[in-house]
A and B are shown apart, each in its own frame.
Chain A
Amino acid sequence: MTIQEVKFYQVGSRAVGNRLLSEDLRTEQANENRTNALNSGHRACQGCGEALAARYVLDTAMDAADGQLAVVNATGCLEVFSTPYPESSWQVPWLHSLFANAASVASGLAAGLRTSGRGDVRVLAQGGDGGTVDIGLACLSGMFERNDDVFYVCYDNEAYMNTGVQRSGATPPAARTATTEAVGPEPGNRFGIGKDLPRIAMAHEIPYVATATVAELHDLEAKVRHAMSLRGARYLHVLVPCPLGWGSAPADTVRIARLAQRSGLFPLFEAEHGTVTSVVPIRGRVPVEEYLRLQRRYAHLFAAAGDADRQAATLRAVQAIADRNIARYAIPVEEL
């Protein structure tokens, strides 16, 4: 995918829109006529990253598909806060079945649409990290392996948030959750465990795998559009901060996602058929601490009463993860 060099405008190409930019260079979110796939009135927490990401992804997908889109949603926060009878915030055709089966339902939906003569309707499946990397992994892997024509989007807030912030296979090391409390000799989630779903997806050699965050909207939309231009199994992994579960300020959701990427802990890249094809440079690299300090789930790493040696060792270990990511993906680092 090529990135166009945009002539300098007041806010460059980072803001949602810009009156000085031609409309084709603005994001879909800048469009007054965007679908608003997830409309007002939903019960997500203040500052919910997942609610924001879902609208970002689906509005773009709807635009790319000319409105011919159907969405399958796994059980989780997104599903629960958006469809409590009698209120639904969805403005797109939407189907919720179970926790583990969004990918399979989507495969079946796609086949059902094709055999009903509506193969023009595109299918998008979405779920949280729990429903994707843990309980939903078998179905997801099956969908990948068959190269079913489904675009799967995982909104990763790094724990089972809907049920009260329990650890998932996507919970990062040292993070506090309700099942990995910040107590005992190894507070928070253990090191050396956890699943890297984007790499698992790449191992299936599916047509398209990408990562994105709610902080880089232009990048996220470009990736959604590219995914929608392809057929077959596609996967997008979006980092979505959760103010409640991460213990962060609602107003900081975008900022934290940005710091995750700038620290190297959440690399932004694309891959096709198992090979990385693009990487987003880090603009203004930050030490992991700058990202971690904003989240109370890491407060035990900075508490004055804590074991300073252990805290320092843990921070070094987290920093090492970030360093490794930057090396592994050869992420260029630019001045701010």
Chain B
Amino acid sequence: MRSQIEGSRAIAQAIARCRPQVVPAYPITPQTHIVEALGAMVKSGALAGCEFITVESEFAAMSAAIGASAAGARAYTATASQGLLYMAEALFNASGLGLPIVMTVANRAIGAPINIWNDQSDSMSMRDCGWVQLYAQDNQDAVALHVIAFRLAQELSVPVMVCVDGFVLTHAVEAIDVPGAEIVDAFLPPMSARQRVDPSDPVAIGAMVGPEAFTEVRFLTDADLRRAAHVFPAQASEYLRLSGYHVGEVSKYRLDTASTVVVTLGSVSGTVREALDDMDGDIGLLTLTMYRPFPAAVVRSALAHASQVIVLERAFSPGAPEGPVTADVRTALAGTGADIKTVVAGLGGRAVTRSALHAMLATALAGELPAVSFLDLRADVVERELARREAGVAT
């Protein structure tokens, strides 16, 4: 049903349609409206058959989700930023145990310094944890991805995190069509788990595995994750058939001929498209929806014509030679000769403007874009501060 609704609440409604059974929740900006909405639905009885647990930390939230999922129940939680890091140990544990948990990450910067606004540092820092990572471009995307996420998780026995840019999407009020129960029920089968805690068939889940078998376990976890490459498209097709809404591992814009392509994730892709519409020139846009497992083959084929690839990063790893997504793209394009650049944009909620994008793209078209650059960097501030460091001047 289409309505003017805040992104968070649309997501909450989509979650509710998926019949979660256990929702452990710990608040952190900017995810709070999601869990508040779910809490109210459970408390009022609107969402039946679900227990909403107000836990004492994000670590507890993921832990409770692990327990619930191990019982064979459909478990969901949401977090961001510091909270995601606080549950880091549990993220690895959930994927290691193969539990089909779904979680929303309302992308937010990581401190220090503390910053509540949007970038993708949080989910990027957890790209190694063995979860499927899906990035929503807009709230309609977010709704669809969450519904698919539950089925994907169940099918793969792998946990899935759906990344939604904090504030930008979560707090945006817009027209969103949340699929009705009949669509979701047709799409999403009842919960069934590969393994569960069950007195009628007792097993010990969570053994200690030594050198003789650990490598194989990891190999198999990776193999489970990689199955998303064909399971996700199949499920997306079915979702399209039922709802009319299309998602894919990637979205392509003007890629047929473009020799310069911007690659990005999340909501900034809308701004990039608008910027491209303003410009002449052969510039295309590839937006990754699925980031883990990395759809290398799809990326390679989408960028077949590109000679210059500009990866617009929403996160950065200090000391790294380039951005995280850039490195993955470079691996996917190995041997193609494409020139790949990192542009770090919008850290800590800095607005990504069309004018800034225009300027950056002009530089790129002129062949003068450095290997790594920061969009809209306040050069005067950094130069002053760098000079002070050199001089060892006390403030």
Contact = CB atoms under 8 A, between A and B. Distances in A.
Interface stretch (A17-25, A84-92, A218-226, A254-262): A84-92
A95 B205 contact: yes
B55 interface: yes
A79 B208 contact: yes
Contacts of A148: 53
A108 interface: yes
B205 A101 contact: no
B346 to A, nearest CB: 34
Contacts of A73: 206
B56 to A, nearest CB: 3
B73 to A, nearest CB: 3
Contact of A68 (B50, B51, B70, B199): B199
Given A112-B68, A114-B51, A97 B199 contact: no
Contacts of B382: none
Nearest to A68: B199
B202 A97 contact: no
B67 A72 contact: yes
Which of A84, A86, A107 has the most B CB atoms < 10 Å from its CB? A107
A92 B197 CA distance: 9
Contacts of A146: 53-54
B24 A108 contact: yes
A108 B24 CA distance: 8
B90 A97 contact: yes
Contacts of A307: none
Interface stretch (B7-15, B57-65, B165-173): B57-65
A226 to B, nearest CB: 22
Contacts, number: 170
B67 A85 contact: no
Interface residues of A, number: 47
Given A93-B197, A98-B63, A107-B67, A116 B55 contact: no
A116 B20 CA distance: 11
Contacts of B89: 98, 100
What range describes how many residues of B lie at the interface? Answer: 35 or more
Interface in B1-40: 21-22, 24
Contacts of B208: 79-80, 83-85
Contact of A108 (B67, B191, B206, B207): B67
Nearest to B217: A85
Interface string A101-112: 100111111111
Contact of B202 (A92, A107, A112, A141): A92
A113 interface: yes
Contacts of A101: 59-60, 63, 66, 90
B163 to A, nearest CB: 23
A138 B70 contact: no
A302 interface: no
Main secondary structure, interface of A, reads mixed
Contacts of B54: 146
Nearest to B69: A112
A70 B59 CA distance: 22
A118 B70 CA distance: 13
A97 B61 CA distance: 13
Contacts of A85: 207-210, 213
B293 interface: no
B42 to A, nearest CB: 11
Contacts of A138: 56-57, 59-60
Residue from B22, B64, B203 with most neighbouring chain A CB atoms (10 Å): B64
Q: Among B51, B55, B69, B207, which residue has the most Cβ atoms of chain A within 10 A?
A: B207
Contact of A115 (B22, B24, B64, B209): B22
A114 B73 CA distance: 9
A142 B202 contact: no
B204 A83 contact: yes
Contacts of A105: 63-64, 66-67, 70
Given A97-B206, A100-B89, A105-B67, 8 more contacts: A67-B199, A93-B198, A98-B90, A105-B66, A108-B53, A108-B64, A109-B67, A115-B21
Interface of A: 67-70, 72-73, 79-80, 82-86, 88, 90-98, 100-101, 104-116, 118, 121, 138-139, 141-142, 145-146, 148
Interface of B: 21-22, 24, 49-51, 53-57, 59-61, 63-73, 75, 89-90, 93, 97, 191, 197-199, 201-210, 213
